[in-house]
Structure 1
Amino acid sequence: MSGFFARRPPDRPGLAVFLNAGDPPLPVLADVMRMLDDCRVDCLELAVPFPNSVTDGPVIRRSAQRALADGVGLDEVLDFLAGVLPGLRHLRVALLADWSHTVRAPTVPGFVRRVADAGVHGLLVHGLPPRLRADCLDAVRAAGLPLVATCYAASSPEVRAAAAECATAYLYLVAHYGRSGGGLTADHRELAAALAALRTRTTAPIAVGFGVRSRADIDLLHGLGADAAVVGSAGVARIEHALAEGADVVEEFHTFIQTVSPYSPSRQEAHR
């Protein structure tokens, strides 16, 4: 199994969390990432911030706007990651970059090489036009960079098969159509059927996201056949609350992680 979730005990689901780079500010984010590493969170899906995402609800959109207002872009994110990633022991980072806002300006091979050189463990390209998928695949293979592929539970069998074939980091199965920030409203039978069908076409781990807000949600998804779950808006909202209240962002987010993680030792235990 991919290194993103291979260190998880086999009877427990993996955990990925989503954040926008720059929200919280990058120096604080470095401490958040070290905390996630101590707590053995498997994956941080870290977005290069971009505006007006059509798939995100207001919580993640506000987060991206705060980061953009602070001047955080691709250069700042890659420089930041190059400094932080060598110190991590468990946490893996999948960089999410939007095609229109972040990737389209440089050549695809040049962009992918920059991401790989920063030490990132995987790449997810948001909004990649289907006609350019082959070029992107060629570039990530040449760079030796694992790819996160995405599809919906309700996608056609052909779309799911294409995503399964592309995924080398993990396959992100979006539980339902709509925008992020709601609850886990997906039909459980449809989700289980999609997971079973994907399992026959890929050896990459399958992580389910959109609407995952609690440990109960994560356990439910694991029971349906998911290897891992992705927690997004619920965690970003805790960051937003901490920033608004002037609270300790790292401690606030640590408390949140303790409530959702299937396996989250204290930071002191993690160092034993």
Structure 2
Amino acid sequence: MSRIDAKFAELRTEGKKAFVAYVMAGDPDYATSLDLVKGLPGAGVDIIELGLPFTDPMADGPTIQRAGQRALEGGMTLQKTLDLVTEFRKDDATTPIVLMGYYNPIYNRGVERFLDDAKTAGIDGLIVVDLPPEEDEELCIPAQKAGLNFIRLATPTTDDKRLPKVLENTSGFVYYVSITGITGAAAADAGDVGPEVTRIKAQTDLPVIVGFGIRTPQSAQAIAAVADGCVVGSAIVAEMAAGKPVEEVTAFVRSLAAGAHRA
């Protein structure tokens, strides 16, 4: 059982929904980013989604694009991202970490070496947005064999014909993208999301977590109420971009987590 599986089992026992927080590794710099990541579990975050900075983040909106650019300009790399996770794990052996990014940095490092290093650092799962299911032999299946969950995105355009292919080698949880488009582009609507979550859950026993367009404790509660939990990313990243101290950002995260946990 992975840390992700264990976390969902724990939440089910407690009758709670999951709150997942996305932050960009290295934004605005390594030290501040590490402080923020270390503070997330205490703010009520169940799973940390850690963004891997990349030069061409096609699925991300301007807020996260700028965060990635700040991180890259500050010297953040794949290795430093793994170092950050290693440092985090010195004090926290239980909170799951999902690395979210694009395939190019992984490919450049070499899949086998990357998986070994990711597992050693303490990463539990991967979301690689530019590798479709048709390319599962490239990374997804090797990752599963290495003991890492491979989390797939489903979207409003993933119809019933496509959905089984998307779910085929997915593990950990399914990430349902609540809107069509990039991150931070629009607000998620529980009335639209609920039926889609039901449709997905009819074809899988995996938890379904909803992300994109969730910015407030109220929307976190509303979306978590119709799913197994929710992800907030751009709203947290925007707090960092505003130059707020880590303590203020974690207070904001705490309010979001409380909203999700009320669902």
Task: Give 1:211 deviation, angstroms.
Answer: 0.2
- Which of 99, 103, 107 is the aligned partner of 1:104? 107
- Which of 55, 59, 62 is the aligned partner of 2:59? 55
Partner of 1:223: 225
Task: Give 1:129 deviation, angstroms.
Answer: 4.2
Task: Give 1:99 deviation, angstroms.
Answer: 1.1
Structure-2 separation of matches of 1:51 and 1:198: 32
Contact 1:124 1:149 (8 Å CA) reproduced: yes
Contact 1:20 1:47 (8 Å CA) reproduced: yes
Aligned length: 257
Secondary structure of 2:161 counterpart: helix
Contact 1:150 1:174 (8 Å CA) reproduced: yes
Partner of 2:176: 173
Task: Give 1:261 deviation, angstroms.
Answer: 1.3
Q: CA RMSD in A?
A: 2.3
Task: Give 1:78 deviation, angstroms.
Answer: 0.9
- Which of 249, 254, 262 is the aligned partner of 1:253? 249
- Structure 2 residue runs without a partner (length 5+): none
CA distance 1:259–1:39, change in 2 (3 Å)? closer
- Structure 1 residue runs without a partner (length 5+): 266-272
Contact 1:13 1:218 (8 Å CA) reproduced: no
Q: How does 1:122-141 map to 2 (within 5 A)?
A: 122-141=125-144
Partner of 1:197: 199
Identical-pair percentage: 26
Structure-1 separation of matches of 2:257 and 2:198: 24
What is the TM-score with the length of structure 1 in the denominator? Answer: 0.86
Partner of 1:65: 69
- Which of 119, 142, 156 is the aligned partner of 2:122? 119
Structure-2 separation of matches of 1:112 and 1:72: 19
Q: Deviations over 1:175-204 (max 9, x none)?
A: 111111133245724x22221122122222
Contact 1:37 1:90 (8 Å CA) reproduced: no
Counterpart amino acid of residue 26 in structure 2: G
Q: How does 1:70-85 map to 2 (within 5 A)?
A: 70-85=74-89
- Which of 89, 95, 99 is the aligned partner of 1:95? 99
Task: Give 1:154 deviation, angstroms.
Answer: 2.8
Secondary structure of 1:212 counterpart: coil
What is the TM-score with the length of structure 2 in the denominator? Answer: 0.88
Q: Deviations over 1:194-252 (max 9, x none)?
A: 2112212222221100101112112212232x11101011110000112xxxx42x112
Q: Deviations over 1:54-107 (max 9, x none)?
A: 22111111100000001111111112211212311553210113113x122233
CA distance 1:76–1:84, change in 2 (3 Å)? same
Partner of 1:268: none
Runs of 4+ in 1 over 4 A off after TM superposition: none
